[in-house]
Amino acid sequence: MFNSQTILQLAHLARLNLSASEANQFLPQIESLLDYVRVIQEVDLQMPGGTRVEPLRSPTQFFPSSGDAWASALREDQVEIPSLDLQGVPTILSSSVSIEESGFKVPQVVERHESS
């Protein structure tokens, strides 16, 4: 079912460079993880009375919407104006290795394919 070739294909799709020996090393770990998922899938979700436990769709699903202690966990976002240096550049950029146009400059991670 799951083999090292499958791992190499998934690694390629995820843009990971794995060797065949690395794929073989990961194979038992992934098989163990999939075995655990199979165990979880076997859990009986029927409650007494025939009610089924529904899956949790969001970690905030159980927070009440009315005003008790949990409601503050779902507060609205608050926009804060960033502090600026003397040149008007946000001070957070002082921790950056490289800055471009008043922003963080990071290495390119997506390849561009030129159409012919």
Instruction: Map out the domains of the chain as residue ranges.
Output: 4-41
Our CA dihedral for 32, 33, 35, 37, rounded to 10 degrees, sits at 170
CA atoms within 13 A on the CB side of 98: 5
What distance in Å separates the CA atoms of residue 83 and residue 100, rounded to the nearest whole number?
A: 18
Q: Tell me: the pLDDT tens digits for 13-57?
A: 999 999 999 999 999 999 999 999 999 888 888 888 888 877 776
Structure pTM? 0.44
Architecture per CATH, 4-41? Orthogonal Bundle (1.10)
Q: Cα 110 from chain centroid?
A: 18
Helix 20-41 to helix 4-13 angle (10° resolution) is: 100
Terminal Cα-to-Cα distance of the chain (whole angstroms): 39
